[in-house]
Amino acid sequence: MLPAASPLLADMAEGRTTATRLVEMALAHATDPAGEGVRVFTALYADQAMAQAAAFDQARAAGISLPPLAGLPVTIKDLFDEAGRETLAGSVASHGEGPAAQDAPAVAALRRAGAIILGRTTMTEYAFSGLGLNPHTGTPRNPWDRANGRIPGGSSAGAAVSVSDGMAVAGLGSDTGGSLRIPAALCGLTGFKPTARRVSRDGAYPLSTSLDCIGVIARSVQCCVLFDQILSASPVASLPALSLQGRRLAIPTAVVLDQMDIHVAASFAATVRTLEKAGASIEEIALPELAEIPARGIQGGIAAAEAYALHQHRLVRKAHLYDPRVLVRILNGQAIPASIYIDCLKAREEICTRISRITSAYDALIMPTVPTVAPLLAPLECDDGLYGATNALMLRNTSLFNALDRPAISLPCHAPGTAPVGLMVVGETMKDDVTLSLACAIETALQTAGTNA
């Protein structure tokens, strides 16, 4: 299994391992016939990855200065452009539409930084679901309770399982309503959604141009920091260490605590106690404005309208090729008139302003990332009603903060050996570094207390 990024970089620098060895380990997991690789990858670049690893090892042995991520195997979600390849975005409907002319900026940034791209990972078709199911490519199983077959979360399903199963150090993905944070939470990983404008979305097949964000799923907050600095073109440096002593954290009581299952509720309560013992001041606040976001159709209305605008011409020719459950959601946008769409955009701006006036008094908001543990896959595959209700529940908490354009990170907060549960830490817009620094402190407190798997 591949550990976190920083220790691996140190091990390569000090000769304890090599890029070749890391790629060999990743490929062994990816090609294991008893593993999930066949459902994780839509394309695997084994020969290319081995050649790049060998080149890095030779350069390192010769004392040549290398870029910051040199030798780390990573994966990229199937919606990112790569020069010369078709961008399918998890759909057979995109076949035949021509190769990309150049790499997406996010992909190009990873390459420049020395990351070795092991392959492209499966996703919900066109990223339009938080469950991770895909009838075209298959659905990778969650690493927890794999024998019974649970969902990985989506839409960045393959990205999460590539990390959980040792096929990559990090998975590049997107997040429109929770597509990084949901699979991270359900798979016991860490997923970060930045403020949208900090990372270029060019060359990433859009779902909603107003809500899409680009980030990673990895093993730790520090891993997410390292990759975020590359993707956002920030200086690569350690964030300032923060103590939780005296930090003000708020728990909204509107919406986000509803319908928690017993395990999530117990894990969240234990996390709150741990953070208080570490010195944080934690206060419950009503924040009823959160309930206005779904009530006024802000996130859902914007996403559906923009998705339909993007897909309408293809649907004339290829609607029969779409996953029916994704097709229904896209077609919902057809019934949204321009006036309602514009009203949603205005309401979004107004609620963002009102909520910021309240939350700016706190260092962060905290809450469960999703209110339940990963549900079983089989019932969702055969019941459209259950699929829709479960999808809405999975997306409920995370999507609020796409609508508010807040940096948000999910990190594990469950006891070791139990079902994965994610803690979501939400900061203020464009205060990503502060949010990540605080998340590092929270992660340390949870690990010290032994409540972080």
CA distances from 410 to 185, 219, 252, 290, 366 (A): 6, 11, 16, 19, 10
d(CA 249, CA 366): 7
Q: Is 318 a known active-site residue?
A: no
**Residue 217, strand partner residues:** 171, 191
Q: Which helix (H) or strand (E) holds 385?
A: helix 384-403
Note whether 142 and 186 are within 8 A (CB): yes
Active-site choice (77, 174, 210, 399): 77
Please state the length of the chain: 453
Q: Is 267 a known active-site residue?
A: no
End-to-end CA, the chain: 15
User: Taking the CB of residue 43, how many other CB atoms lie within 10 A of it?
Assistant: 15
Q: Smallest Cα–Cα separation from 56: which of 118, 27, 13?
A: 13
Note whether 255 and 286 are within 8 A (CB): no
Distance of CA 250 to the CA centre of its chain: 23
Decide: helix, strand or coil at residue 287: coil
Distance of CA 361 to the CA centre of its chain: 27
Q: Is 179 a known active-site residue?
A: yes
* Helical segments of 45-132, H only: 46-61, 105-112
Active-site choice (162, 179, 220, 399): 179
Peptide bond into 234 cis (omega under 30): no
* Helical segments of 165-232, H only: 181-187, 221-231
Active-site choice (155, 208, 232, 437): 155
d(CA 245, CA 253): 23
Active site residues: 77, 155, 179
